[in-house]
A and B are shown apart, each in its own frame.
Chain A
């Protein structure tokens, strides 16, 4: 039996604690302790991006990240994005562009896109494809995903202009 320990971190804006064993991954703890299934393990090797969560702002692969390392961090999952049932700008853009078929990979693409647009508010297609190259969509909706990212970038830019004027 593995030794359990208690970790404390901030999950989607709320301070939380969890009882974990050293070999538990972030995805396991999110699913088993918090009932959050947006980050899901698919390839299990950090290649597909389905398990993407943000730790202190940086996207990481939740399947390759030990839960013990979350102590004292801020963790954000796809479940943090919608406010009062209203999707985020990126989520809405994915819906409007039809940027998914089965939807299994979508939370990972959306979490990566949220960070991409913070770092690069006006990314060209090459940068979008590079930044998302570690995310796989087995349904092959890549053209729609690129369109969704461009749409979200445009909407965010318009919102900034509205605010400024």
Chain B
């Protein structure tokens, strides 16, 4: 790696102050796992990194409220959430997702804020958190604002964060009985980046789907809600017919790209099949599928 300067401020406000919004070679770093890959490959050559690791401890803490809502600082490591009984109970889909997200060592180091700010479309957590209705807090020189995850991702490695703005926190609402699932497909080896990720979250009463969120990742440029597929499920009775209609609608609407993990037609077929699988997985406990 090429040499760079490293600043290690003791407060989040100071970190924001140290980042020059005009200078794209001056960036924040927390766990650093993704940044290190970019620096080692020469894709990113920083002049200065501002470490968030020594800011106030509250940014590395999280709480789960009695009704099951999560508030987490941006510096919370993925492994902290993975090992929390309260998180596992409130969000079974997160407990299910962490074991397939990279590996133990990366989860011990990578942070919630860094994971979301990186905006690599192949990551596992963004589609899941989007399906759960999460939002982040962004903090910059002019203060803080809330951004829904549906608004955060703007393109390939692109976010709605302004230059100089950092993710300072994550908020995931209580799920109030919603059923969620995440399914990923890797086409080359089990630990490869996925060719497709599908996250779903459903509100059901009796045998009817009241509301659905379906998010695709990896096969598309950025994590994306499939609104046509969601509409196909709204008010439908739980069952294969509705699932297949949603799969078809998603396959039709998804703007799938070709890459080394598969051609666009192949990955479109993955969408068609895996939307159905994700819906079945989410509702398996209902006994209807």
Q: Is B231 an interface residue (CB 8 A)?
A: no
How far is the CB of B80 from the nearest CB of chain A, in Å?
Answer: 10
Number of interface residues of A (CB under 8 A): 29
User: Per-residue 0/1 for A57-70: is the Cβ within 8 Å of any B Cβ (1 yes, 0 no)?
Assistant: 01111011110110
Q: Is A118 an interface residue (CB 8 A)?
A: no
User: Which residue of chain B is the closest to A72 with respect to CB atoms?
Assistant: B54
In the complex, A22→B29 CA distance in Å? 12
User: Per-residue 0/1 for B200-235: is the Cβ within 8 Å of any A Cβ (1 yes, 0 no)?
Assistant: 000000000000000000000000000000000000
| A84-92, A126-134, A139-147 - interface stretch | A126-134
User: Per-residue 0/1 for B15-45: is the Cβ within 8 Å of any A Cβ (1 yes, 0 no)?
Assistant: 0000000000000010011001101100000
Contact A21 B8 (CB under 8 A): no
User: Which residue of chain B is the closest to A5 with respect to CB atoms?
Assistant: B6
Q: Is B53 an interface residue (CB 8 A)?
A: yes
In the complex, A12→B254 CA distance in Å? 52
Q: Is B10 an interface residue (CB 8 A)?
A: no
B37 neighbours in A (Cβ, 8 Å)? 45-46, 64
Contact A22 B104 (CB under 8 A): no
In the complex, A51→B109 CA distance in Å? 14
Contact B103 A22 (CB under 8 A): no
Contact A23 B1 (CB under 8 A): yes
B106 neighbours in A (Cβ, 8 Å)? 46, 61, 64, 134
User: Per-residue 0/1 for B31-67: is the Cβ within 8 Å of any A Cβ (1 yes, 0 no)?
Assistant: 0110011011000000001010100000000000000
Contact A22 B190 (CB under 8 A): no
In the complex, A138→B137 CA distance in Å? 43
How far is the CB of A41 from the nearest CB of chain B, in Å?
Answer: 10
Contact A58 B108 (CB under 8 A): yes
How far is the CB of B241 from the nearest CB of chain A, in Å?
Answer: 34
A66 neighbours in B (Cβ, 8 Å)? 6, 29, 32, 36
Q: Is B99 an interface residue (CB 8 A)?
A: yes
How far is the CB of B41 from the nearest CB of chain A, in Å?
Answer: 9
Interface residues of A in 105-164 (CB under 8 A from B): 112, 130-131, 133-135
B49 neighbours in A (Cβ, 8 Å)? 22
B109 neighbours in A (Cβ, 8 Å)? 58, 60-61, 64-65
A46 neighbours in B (Cβ, 8 Å)? 33, 37, 102-103, 105-106
User: Which residue of chain B is the closest to A3 with respect to CB atoms?
Assistant: B5
Interface-centre pick from B2, B105, B108 (highest chain A CB count, 10 A): B105
How far is the CB of B78 from the nearest CB of chain A, in Å?
Answer: 12
In the complex, A11→B37 CA distance in Å? 25
User: Which residue of chain B is the closest to A28 with respect to CB atoms?
Assistant: B1
B51 neighbours in A (Cβ, 8 Å)? 68-69
A131 neighbours in B (Cβ, 8 Å)? 104
How far is the CB of B46 from the nearest CB of chain A, in Å?
Answer: 9
In the complex, A58→B103 CA distance in Å? 13
Instruction: Give me the interface of A with B, judged by CB distance under 8 Å.
Output: 1-3, 21-23, 25, 44-47, 49, 52, 58-61, 63-66, 68-69, 112, 130-131, 133-135
A-B interface, 9 closest residue pairs, ranked by CB to CB distance from nearest: A134-B103, A2-B3, A22-B6, A58-B108, A64-B36, A23-B1, A61-B105, A23-B3, A59-B105
